[in-house]
Structure 1
Amino acid sequence: MKKYLIRSGMLPTDVFDAAKIIANNSIGGNVGNLIYAYSIYRTLMTEDVEFVPDYYRVNPADAPYINENYDAYFIPLADAFRPDFENTLKSYTKLINRLTIPVYVIGVGVRIDFEPDFTKKNSYDPAVVDFVKAVLKRSSMIGVRGEFTSRYLTHLGFKEGIDHVIIGCPSMYANGRHLRIRDTEINENAIVTINSSKLSPNHVLQFINRSKNEFKHHYFIPQWYKELKMIYLGGPNLEKPKPHYQGKTTDELYVQDRVRYFLNAKSWIDFIGEADFSFGARLHGNITATIAGTPSLIIPKDGRMRELTDYHALNYVAGNELTEQTQIMDLIEKSDFHRCEHVHEENFNRFIHFLNHNGIPHIYEQDLDLVEAPLDKQLQEIQLLPPVKSFIHCSAAEMGERFETVMSNVLEQKNERIVKLKSQVKSHQVRTKHLEGTLNRKAVRIALKTANLFSKKNS
C-alpha cells in the first residue's frame, strides 16, 4: 500500500460540517479548491493507494517525518506565482530541499494581467526559480496551467517540454476523457446557478447582478471562506462592499434564500448537474458546471483565468466586451457550449502523458476510457452533507446550535494545538537532554585525551 501526502485541507470522503471547515479553514480560503482536489484524488486514488492531506501545513522541520512516513508528496497549486504567496513558496522550497521522496507539482500558474508582459521583472521571480529547481530535483517535470505560465517559466530559463509542460487545470479531468455538455432549454423558467467574484470590475458585477433577474429559478453559489462564515453565522459581512456584489446577509439573494454554499465537491457537482445553465466570473464555479455537463458562460477577469479558458476552450465572454446594453440571452444564443468537448480528449491525453512521464500511478493505466473509479465506490457508501443555507432562514434553535458547534470546534482545535505543542516541547527536552549527555561524554573523552597527551609530553 502506497501512502501519499497531498496539499489539501480535506479528503473528498471527509464529512466535515460547516463548523469544522470554519474552525480549520479546510477549504484553503476558497471552496473551489475542493473541486481541484477531487479530480486529483479521483485520478490517482488506485486500490493500493492511501492519501493523507497536509492540511495546508508547510514546515521545513517536518521533512524527516514526511520522508519516513510517505512515498511521495503531491502539491497541486493554483496561481501560486504571485507576490502574496512568495513566502509560502520559499517555505515549500526549504521543505522540498530536505525531502528524499518524489515531489510532484500537478498544476501551477502565474497571476498575470489579461494582456501579459513577459519582459517585466517581478519581485517573486527568484523565489519561483528556487522553487522550480527544488521540485525538478525530486521529479521529472512540472505541470503548468496554461500558455502564460509556460511562457513565464521559459522566460525565467526553464525549458518547455523538458522542465515544464502545459496540462491545464486537473479539475477538468474529473471524469477522465469523458466530457459531454447537455443540450438544455435556457429560458426564463430554466434553473440557473450564478457565481461571482468581488474582485471583478464593477461593470462585470453589474452585468451578473442584472442578468440573474432574467431567470425565475436562480441560485448564487459563493466560494470564499469568508462567505461561508457569513452565511453560516450571519456575519461578519464582507469588507469594502461593492454595490453589485452580494456581500451582506441582508442582500437580496440571502433574504430570498437563493444562496447555497457547498461543503464537498460531489454534492456541488450533483447540484449543478441538475441546472440548465451556469454563468459568472468564477473559474471553478464554471468548471464545476462543465464537468457536470451543464452549459456555462465564464467571464475571465485576468490572465490566470484567460490561459485556462483558452486552453480548455471554455465558453466565455471577455469583460471588456460587456456594456450596459449587453443581454445575457443574446450571449447564450451566440454561445457554443460544446467547444470544450473538441479539445478535451487531446488535453486529457497530454495530462496522462505528464503523469506517465513522472512515473505517477493512476486509474487510467490499463483503460483510458475507464468510467467508474475506486473513489466513486467509496462515495456511494457515504452520506455527504447538503449545502449550507442562509443564517437568516434558520430557527432560533438552529442559530444557537451553529454558534455552539463553531465554538466547540475552535476550542477543540486549540486543545489539539496545545497537546501537539506539549508533545513537541517534550520531544525537544528529551533531545536536549540526550545532546547534553552526548556533549558531556564527548567533553570527558576530550579531557582525558588532552590529559593523556600532556602526560606523554611531560614523560
Structure 2
Amino acid sequence: MSRILLRAGKSPFQVLSPERSLAVGRVGVFGANSGNLLFSSAVHRTVSVPGAEVVTDGFVLQSLKRVPRTAAYVDERFDQLVLPFANAFRAGFTRQLDTYSDLIERLRVPVVVVGVGAQMGFHADRPEAGSDLDASVSRFVRAVLDHSASIGVRGERTAAYLARLGFSAPHVDVIGCPSLFTDADGFRVEPREVDASSRIDLTYTSGLESLVERSAADYPRLEFVAQEHHRLRLLLQGLDPEGYDGRGLLGSGHRLYREDRVRFFVDARTWVDHLRDFSFAFGTRIHGSIAAILARVPAVVLSYDSRTLELAQYHGIPYRDFHALPDDVTVEDLVAGTDYSAFNARFPELAAHYRAFLETNGIEHIWSPGAANPEYDARLAALDLPGPVGVAGASDRTPPLEPIGHSAVSELVALRRAEKAP
C-alpha cells in the first residue's frame, strides 16, 4: 500500500463542527480562507486510488521549528509528499516557503507541487515583495524540481514570473486549479434563467458596495457565501471584526447579516451541494466562483488581481475587470455578458493535460485504467457533515464535536512537541 502525505487543513472525511473548524489553529482548519477546502479536497480525491492511503498534514509542515527529524519521519512513513497550493508566492508566505524548502531539501521521497501561483496586481508582472521573495521562491522551486519532473502552476502569469527567475517549461507546467478537475470526461455549464425570484450567490472580499446594495435589494434570495475565518467567527459568536465601522459586509450592521442571508461552509461537499439550485453567481472570490461552477451554476469572476485573472483566463471562466466596472453595473449586465462556451470547449483538453502532469510526476490518479474508486464518493456522501452556518450559528445539521483522531496531524504534532522537549 502506498502512503501519500498531502498538504491540507483536514481530510474530507473528518467531520468537524463549525465551532471546531474555527478553533483549530489561529485561523481555522481551512487556513483563514475556506476556498482552500476546494482544491485540497479535489487533490485528495484524485490521488485516492485503490490501495493508497492519503493522510493530511493539518498544515503542520509549514510551521515546523526543527526540520531534520520531521524529514526523517516523512521519509520513513510516506512514499510521496503532495503539496496543493494557491497563491503561495507572496510576501506574507515567505517564512512558510522557506520552511518547506528546508524540509524538501532533506527529503528523499518524491515531492509534487500542484497549482501554486504568484500574487501580483492586475497589471503587474511580478509580486511587489521584491528580491527577498524572489530568493525564497527560487529556493523553493529548485528544491521541488530536485524531487519531481515539473512544478504545476496555476496560470501563465505565474509561469512568466518563474521564467524571469530562471525556471521555464517543461519544468514549469501550467495546470490551472485542481478543484475544477473532478470528472475525467469534463462537464458543461449552461445558462440559467435569472429573475427577481432567483437564488443568487455572492462571493466577496471588499469594494462593490453599490453593486452589492442594489443586488441585495433587487434579489431577495441573494446570499453572501463568506470564506474568511473572521466572518465565520461573526456568524458563530456575533463578534464584529476589530475596527468595524458598522458599514459594509464586514459586520453585523449590514442588511445581509440582519436578514440572515450570510452563509459559511466548513466542507467542500456541502458548499457545492448548497449551490445546485442557484441561478447565478458573481463576485471577487475565485474559489467562490469555482464552487458555483462545480454545482454547474454560471458564475462571473470580478477579477482584481493576477491570481484571479490567470485562473479565469486559463480555464475560460467568464470574468470582468474589477477596476473597470461602471458604478451602475447590475446583475443583469453581468448575466448578459456571461458565456461559458469557451470553458465548455476547453475543459476536456485541460483535464487531459492535468492528468498528463500527474503521470509525468509519478502520481497515480483515479482516472487511470483500473484505478477508479467509486467507494470514495459513496463514503463521502454517507457522512453527516455540518450544513451551512448562518447568523447566530444557525445550521440545518450541526453534528457534535468529534475528535480529529489518529492521523498524520496528531503524529506530526506529537513529533514537533518531542523536538521541543529538552
TM-score, normalized by the shorter chain, greater than 0.5: yes
Q: For residue 302 of structure 1, what is the amino acid of its counterpart?
A: D
Kept in 1: contact 2:293–2:299 (CA 8 A): yes
Kept in 1: contact 2:215–2:222 (CA 8 A): no
Distance 1:119 1:56, change over 3 A: closer
User: Does residue 210 of structure 2 align to residue 206 of structure 1?
Assistant: yes
Q: Tell me by how many angstroms 1:428 deviates.
A: 5.7
Correspondence list, 1:258-277, <5 A: 258-277=261-280
User: Does residue 370 of structure 2 align to residue 376 of structure 1?
Assistant: no
Distance 1:109 1:392, change over 3 A: closer
The CA distance in 2 between the partners of 1:296 and 1:209, in whole Å, is 19
Aligned equivalent of 2:234: 230
Query: Aligned match of 2:134 in 104, 108, 125?
Result: 125
The CA distance in 2 between the partners of 1:391 and 1:129, in whole Å, is 45
Kept in 1: contact 2:186–2:351 (CA 8 A): no
The CA distance in 1 between the partners of 2:263 and 2:127, in whole Å, is 42
Query: Aligned match of 2:314 in 311, 315, 338?
Result: 311
Kept in 2: contact 1:209–1:244 (CA 8 A): no
Q: Tell me by how many angstroms 1:114 deviates.
A: 0.7
Q: Tell me by how many angstroms 1:97 deviates.
A: 0.8
SS in 2 for 1:138: coil
The CA distance in 2 between the partners of 1:273 and 1:367, in whole Å, is 30
Q: Tell me by how many angstroms 1:175 deviates.
A: 2.8
Aligned equivalent of 2:406: none
Query: Aligned match of 2:204 in 196, 221, 228?
Result: 196
Kept in 2: contact 1:196–1:208 (CA 8 A): no
RMSD: 2.7
Q: Tell me by how many angstroms 1:244 deviates.
A: 6.2
Aligned equivalent of 2:161: 152
Q: For residue 20 of structure 2, what is the amino acid of its counterpart?
A: K
Q: Tell me by how many angstroms 1:66 deviates.
A: 0.9
Name the structure, 1 or 2, with higher relative contact order (CA <8 Å, separation 6+): 2
Aligned equivalent of 1:167: 175
Aligned equivalent of 1:334: 337
Query: Aligned match of 2:105 in 87, 97, 101?
Result: 97
Q: Tell me by how many angstroms 1:145 deviates.
A: 0.4
The CA distance in 2 between the partners of 1:94 and 1:119, in whole Å, is 22
Give the TM-score of the pair, scaled to structure 1: 0.82
Q: For residue 315 of structure 2, what is the amino acid of its counterpart?
A: H
Q: For residue 17 of structure 1, what is the amino acid of its counterpart?
A: S
SS in 2 for 1:317: strand
Q: Tell me by how many angstroms 1:210 deviates.
A: 2.3
Q: For residue 339 of structure 2, what is the amino acid of its counterpart?
A: D
Kept in 2: contact 1:42–1:373 (CA 8 A): no
Aligned equivalent of 2:4: 4
User: Does residue 256 of structure 2 align to residue 247 of structure 1?
Assistant: no
Distance 1:338 1:129, change over 3 A: same
1:54-78 CA-partner distances (Å, limit 9, x unpaired): 1111222411111111111111111
Aligned equivalent of 1:69: 77
Give the TM-score of the pair, scaled to structure 2: 0.89
What is the percentage of aligned positions where both structures have the same residue? 30
Aligned equivalent of 2:14: 14
Kept in 2: contact 1:144–1:150 (CA 8 A): yes
Aligned equivalent of 1:455: none
Q: Tell me by how many angstroms 1:375 deviates.
A: 2.2
Kept in 1: contact 2:119–2:127 (CA 8 A): no
Q: Tell me by how many angstroms 1:48 deviates.
A: 1.1
Identify the range of structure 1 (39-48 vs 384-393) with the bigger mean alpha-carbon deviation. Answer: 384-393
Distance 1:195 1:367, change over 3 A: farther
Structure with the bigger percentage of helix:
1
The CA distance in 2 between the partners of 1:377 and 1:119, in whole Å, is 42
Query: Aligned match of 2:148 in 117, 139, 147?
Result: 139
SS in 1 for 2:118: coil
SS in 1 for 2:36: helix
Aligned equivalent of 1:389: 390
Aligned equivalent of 1:424: 418
Aligned equivalent of 2:220: 216
Aligned equivalent of 1:443: none
Q: Tell me by how many angstroms 1:420 deviates.
A: 4.0
Larger Rg: 1
Kept in 1: contact 2:22–2:232 (CA 8 A): yes
* Alignment coverage as a number of residue pairs: 405
Aligned equivalent of 1:78: 86
Query: Aligned match of 1:286 in 289, 293, 306?
Result: 289
Kept in 2: contact 1:47–1:374 (CA 8 A): no
Q: Tell me by how many angstroms 1:248 deviates.
A: 1.0
Q: For residue 385 of structure 1, what is the amino acid of its counterpart?
A: P
SS in 2 for 1:246: helix
Kept in 1: contact 2:303–2:309 (CA 8 A): yes
1:287-339 CA-partner distances (Å, limit 9, x unpaired): 11111100111101101111111001111111133122222212212321343
The CA distance in 2 between the partners of 1:244 and 1:313, in whole Å, is 35
The CA distance in 2 between the partners of 1:135 and 1:242, in whole Å, is 45
Q: For residue 266 of structure 1, what is the amino acid of its counterpart?
A: R
The CA distance in 2 between the partners of 1:185 and 1:287, in whole Å, is 19
Distance 1:112 1:234, change over 3 A: same
Q: Tell me by how many angstroms 1:252 deviates.
A: 1.2
